[in-house]
Amino acid sequence: MAKNDLQGALDLLVLKTLAQTGEMHGYGIAVHIQQASGELLRVEEGSLYPALHRMEQSGWVRSSWALTATKRKAKYYRLTAAGRGQMEAAERNFEQLVEGVRAILQYA
C-alpha cells in the first residue's frame, strides 16, 4: 500500500507538471518538480522513467521525439485526456488522504 501511495504521488507530480508545462521531456520534468517545490522534492531519476513508461502504456501521456532549445534530441511527453482525468482523480484522492492524515495528526 505504501508503494502504491508513493507511486501515486509521483504519478500525480508528473501529470501536474505536464499539465502546467504542456510538453516536456523527462529531464525537464525532474527539474521542474524540483524547482516548483522549492527544492523540497527531488525526483529520483531512476524512478522517473519507469513511471513515465507506465503512464504512457496506460494511455495517460503521449510521447514524441523532438529537438530541445539546444538542438539535442529528446523524448517529449504530453498529457492525454485520459491523463487529465486521472490527474484530477488522483488530486482528489490525495487531498482526501491529506485531510485524513491531518485529522489524525490533530487528535494525536
With CB under 8 A as the contact rule, the residue among 19, 21, 23, 28 that binds another protein is: 28
Q: How many CB atoms lie within 10 A of CB 88?
A: 12
- With binding defined as CB under 8 A, does residue 71 bind another protein? no
Quote the least distance from Cβ 70 to another protein, whole Å.
6
- With binding defined as CB under 8 A, does residue 88 bind another protein? no
**Residues 10, 50: Cα–Cα separation, whole Å:** 11
**Residues 61, 25: Cα–Cα separation, whole Å:** 12
Quote the least distance from Cβ 43 to another protein, whole Å.
10
